[in-house]
Amino acid sequence: MFFGGLHVISKKQSMIGQHDHPEDQDLILSADIKRQMTAAVADNPTLTIREAYEDVAHQIPPAERDNIPTYDSVRSSLDRTRRRYMPEIPASINDVDIRGRWRVTVDGNLFLSKLDNGWGIVVFARHKHSAVLGQCNDIYIDIWFIQQIDYSILQ
């Protein structure tokens, strides 16, 4: 019998709170899968949210796949995690500052060779690539120029 938080079991009394019940194993597995997805995004924020979701989902054993949370139920959470690790989009060229993991390759080799905010130039190259370029007589570079329109002239 139950009397407001007090169970009477074969004439013995024991206090059992409202939340003292067996944990739902499916909820635990689902939460663990979500944690794995969050870790995948944190480990490689350059992956899209969908890629991180699918990478983890494909690793789940077939017997546990019913516990995979739906993409829509984890999308916003994974997106918030990703934004914590992605640099903010700079408001101007002067705000461009490439730090940390964005300066190196996945295996830790320096990749950012030059950042010149004054000229608006960023060069990514590994040391061995620069060494090869140093031996060249001619170097052809493909550059994008974006002309900003001065709207005051049009008025």
**Average pLDDT by consecutive 10-residue portion of the chain (155 residues)?**
42 50 78 95 91 95 92 96 86 84 82 86 85 90 70 61
Q: What is the pLDDT of residue 1?
A: 42
Task: State residue 79's pLDDT score.
Answer: 94
The pTM for the full model equals 0.55
pLDDT at res. 25:
86
pLDDT recorded at residue 4: 44
- What integer pLDDT is reported at residue 11 of this predicted model? 43
Q: How many CB atoms lie within 10 A of CB 52?
A: 24
pLDDT at 150: 63
